[in-house]
Structure 1
């Protein structure tokens, strides 16, 4: 079963010491595609990089993970998007982006092979593909095609304040795909939920008729899953945290990989979804024990050992 991811792909420059930064391939949809492939699934990425050394680094890294990169366009017009990541003493991140003229923003509908979108068993995207009007239009066009083709649609609205003109604009835009009925699987962090409501339960009551699975991550505490009108809190393992950059994406990658083996979603039992989320928690925790996003994705066998 194929998982098709669409959206930003970039280089994360991780602050490893004083003013020293280390380059690692990243971008949430790319991280998810890499995780699905590394765990043993079939994944494809739709995005765009610049014809530069960083674009080639991304292509090489995704290919090494087994991601189908035939729909990652290389352009001479724009430079590969860059992100600079600084970690605090707990491994938590703050971001600065070089993206106003980043290649991923300017991927056009006419440059995308729509047969790939139509072939998706699961179509996954994030909110950073809607930060500018041109990529927002492309995103909604792809969502319409994925929905018409019967794809299960997954959404992770990562909130990065520096990429939006205002928080109000971000919140209004991020919720549009949900309110328009496009989303089957929704994953948010606790911090993102609190931008909208008092807690996860309250927000779920607002969207429960719009989504089939709602996932909320709480970092080292674990995560919640809302499914078929019920909620479950799923704990996680304790690890020595080095870098949390790709943890949420690794979590999503595991969820989509496991669900892709049991589609449609309605076939899943409550016990099965809890087991899937437990695996995803472990995958995200193990990802935090190494630097970078894609380089830190654990082997599937490691997750099973900790399970």
Structure 2
């Protein structure tokens, strides 16, 4: 089972007429929905609000088959992110997360709700802000002790915290514990890993860490999947017309996990020895999953069948 821990928030997305549409989101919750739609059993640990947005999350995640591990709904409201899009559909965020439902949980409560037989534990995004980091790392440590792979998406949101240096240092602590890491070019800059070649910068994440795979997303230039002994790079698939990029990275990571699962490679024993063909298929699947999402409004992850059809249509199916 894939177990996730992190934010569930509502994106209030600016429309062309200046109004805002309320879209269910949050990096970790998006990933949870995306990996469940790929057919993997998934559980979400954080509590959801008893407000109307929380009810929508319950319905959405339930429809995808996600197990809600929190024993009861929170009396606190759902977190909000106000999302404005530039001319290219790239989002910027303003966060409202004080006293909200997904943070209404202690370390002891989160560990107590961990389901048995965890294959992979995923976190990242706003769960890595300084105020929440120790709890997040405690839950990750408990999952690792239960035999789970640890997946972390750095997904830094500097507008969410006043002290970027403190935030970045905490994210680096978290990434050192992960077996599977996802970063963007922008994340590398925020982490202070500046290099003329982002691949060189991303490869430093292997140093002194548990990482076996590092996925580096490069926006319109595609992505690179790095292993300790090699790497593969692929461009964005042909025919992708971007509507907006909300949730693209979350869907990418879910597609990567799904492909590794399909290959029987989602284990600590298998990850270090992946051959170039498996790495290429996993990266291609991840890019296809993200590509379908960016052609839709908001984060709307595809089903496994949709990804497979996309790969066949674009001539990229292995």
TM-score (norm 1): 0.92
Question: Which residue in the other structure is 1:301 paired with?
Answer: 305
Distance 1:149 1:203 in 2: 31
Higher mean alpha-carbon deviation, 168-177 vs 16-25, is at 16-25
Question: Which residue in the other structure is 1:214 paired with?
Answer: 214
Bigger strand share:
1
Pairwise CA RMSD: 1.8
Question: Which residue in the other structure is 1:7 paired with?
Answer: 6
Partner SS state of residue 47, structure 1:
coil
Question: Which residue in the other structure is 2:289 paired with?
Answer: 283
Question: Which residue in the other structure is 1:193 paired with?
Answer: 188
Q: How does 1:66-85 map to 2 (within 5 A)?
A: 66-71=65-70, 73-76=72-75, 78-85=76-83
1:165 counterpart = 2:162: yes
Unaligned stretches of 5+ in structure 2? 312-318
Distance 2:71 2:282 in 1: 29
Distance 2:140 2:3 in 1: 12
Distance 2:98 2:113 in 1: 29
The alpha-carbon deviation at position 109 of structure 1 amounts to 2.0
Question: Which residue in the other structure is 1:104 paired with?
Answer: 102
Partners of 1:3 and 1:260 within 8 A in 2:
no
The alpha-carbon deviation at position 63 of structure 1 amounts to 1.0
Partners of 1:7 and 1:128 within 8 A in 2:
yes
Distance 2:250 2:67 in 1: 18
Distance 2:221 2:72 in 1: 39
Runs of 4+ residues deviating >4 angstroms: none
Unaligned stretches of 5+ in structure 1? none
Question: Which residue in the other structure is 1:122 paired with?
Answer: 120
Aligned residues: 300
Alpha-carbon distance change, 7 to 72 in structure 1, aligned in 2, over 3 angstroms: farther
Distance 2:17 2:250 in 1: 27
Partners of 1:254 and 1:283 within 8 A in 2:
yes
Distance 2:103 2:167 in 1: 16
Distance 1:3 1:140 in 2: 17
CA deviation vs aligned residue, 1:29-50 (integer Å, no higher than 9, x gap)? 1111111111111111111222
